Amino acid sequence: MAPDKNRATAAAILPLVGGAQNITSVAHCMTRLRLGLADRSLVDDDALKALPAVLGVVEDDTYQIVLGPGTVARVTPELEALVAESGADAEPRPEGAEHAPTASELAAQGAAIKEARKAKNATPFKLFLRRIANIFVPLIPALIGCGIIAGFNGLLINLEWLPSITPALTAIASGFMALIAVFVGYNTAKEFGGTPILGGAVAAIIVYAGVANIEAFGQKLSPGQGGVLGALGAAVLATYVEKWCRKWVPEAVDVLVTPTLTVLVSGLVTIFGLMFLAGEVSTGIGTAANWLLDNTGAFAGLVLGGLFLPLVMLGLHQALIPIHTTLIEQQGFTVLLPILAMAGAGQVGCAIAVYKRLRHNTSIRTTIKSALPAGFLGVGEPLIYGVSLPLGRPFVTACVGGAAGGAFIGFFSMLGDKVGSTAIGPSGWALFPLLDGNENLGLTVAIYGGGLLVGYLVGFLATYFFGFSKQMLIDLNADVDAGESPTARAEAEPTPAKAPATV
């Protein structure tokens, strides 16, 4: 998308979310523009969804506009610039941007479901998980970039090409992962209300080479022990120590005493406690993930692939982010992400089946045609919230497709062929450049591709044959754009005669 188009997209979005004065915060993740809004009632959902660049909207603790990978990173700064120039004239709303009635009804149902889910997800535990996600999500672009370079470098090494370049690529790909604990500490302190640089300073102790000379719990520490979990714990502790100091230390000496005590107290606890404990937890996570897939691979894949979308609906998927990061830090890749990505494959297969079954409903078919390309690339929100979730049964059959794809990849893991991802964030076809495993790259890619095909096929078949009741087909299978009612369609098409029963 060209810069002028990015600015045009931002300019079109701004008035539809209530203007610059209604925006309290602007951020983005891999696919979504996340806006804090002063007044939710000022948002025009239908007009937003009708914008060509908008793939869907999701309402959670922030108002999230799905723009897709790449696009969102370019549109966000343009919107921030427009908000900063709040005195500028607002762009007029685009006209003729209304969905067809049936798609609007589905969108309304999806919005109601999201609103109910938002209320249910506002528990202290789930709010805590969101804070954890806020720590790791900003790291995803670096994980992706370094992961792709690592994969490309591994290919060059295996082919014995460019031996003078591969050491440099190794350094580029590995530098971020070697210091990821520092970035986690920085983001953690920022998220929990502390001074970010103090969180980073305490977390840096974990990766400092000199800790190898320190003994704790009867054994020598090793640089990096505890990893991102240790960094997270250390930074949280530093934040609470800092807040205590701000409360009790006199202002005259605060600038000297508070940072010193924060780093000293948190650092000592990190060295003589957190590094060892977090190291044991991190090792346990890696061991558990490997055991699970080595011994119950197909079943584990079935459960993980089938339940991932419901986990997303409940907001519990955020608990997996530090687990993914820990596995990448330990093993170089996470074996869980490719399995979880099969949930998106089931969703794509489901959408294709809905498209086939509702052949007279041009409104829903148009929605699916516009959302499918993003679905293949792993951006599933438009299909989930615009099609399968409001329809109900197709959402369940989509989960069946995800379960089948996950079982396929899990089965090969039982055979010793692990499929992993060197980064988190991408899914679907977008995950191919990040694939890695314990076997050659060609086999890894083939297994993941086979899992996608299984997810597409089973999601399609499950939805085609079991995704609709007869009444649903009558109610939905009408060309509402042409003003045709479901009853008229049912009356116009004679019911085929039943074949004679055979014994």
Place of tokens 């982010």: 321
3-state secondary structure of 220: strand
Q: Which phi and psi (to 5°) does residue 157 adopt? A: -65, -45
β-strands 56-59, 63-66: how paired? antiparallel
For 362, the enclosing helix (H) or strand (E) is: helix 362-376
Per-residue DSSP letters for 229-264? Answer: HHHHHHHHHHHHHHHHHHHHS-HHHHHHHHHHHHHH
Q: Which phi and psi (to 5°) does residue 487 adopt? A: -65, -45
Cα 417 to Cα 437: distance, rounded to the nearest angstrom: 7
Residue 424, CB-side half-sphere exposure with 13 Å CA sphere: 24
Asked if 204 contacts 275 with a C-beta cutoff of 8 angstroms, the reply is no
Sheet holding 23-28, edge to edge: 23-28, 32-37, 63-66, 56-59
Calculate the alpha carbon distances from 345 to 73, 106, 268, 333, 336 in Å.
25, 21, 47, 21, 15
Of the listed 29, 146, 350, 399, which one is catalytic?
Answer: 29
Cα of 55 vs its chain's centroid, Å: 15
β-strands 23-28, 32-37: how paired? antiparallel
Asked if 78 contacts 7 with a C-beta cutoff of 8 angstroms, the reply is yes
Place of tokens 């209300």: 193
Cα of 467 vs its chain's centroid, Å: 26
350 is catalytic: no
Cα 245 to Cα 243: distance, rounded to the nearest angstrom: 5
3-state secondary structure of 435: strand
Asked if 441 contacts 449 with a C-beta cutoff of 8 angstroms, the reply is no
Q: Can you give the C-alpha Rg of the chain in angstroms?
A: 25
Calculate the alpha carbon distances from 357 to 320, 376, 464, 473 in Å.
35, 20, 7, 8
Cα 402 to Cα 342: distance, rounded to the nearest angstrom: 5
Six-digit token string for 318? 């955020």
Cα 127 to Cα 258: distance, rounded to the nearest angstrom: 29
Active site residues: 29
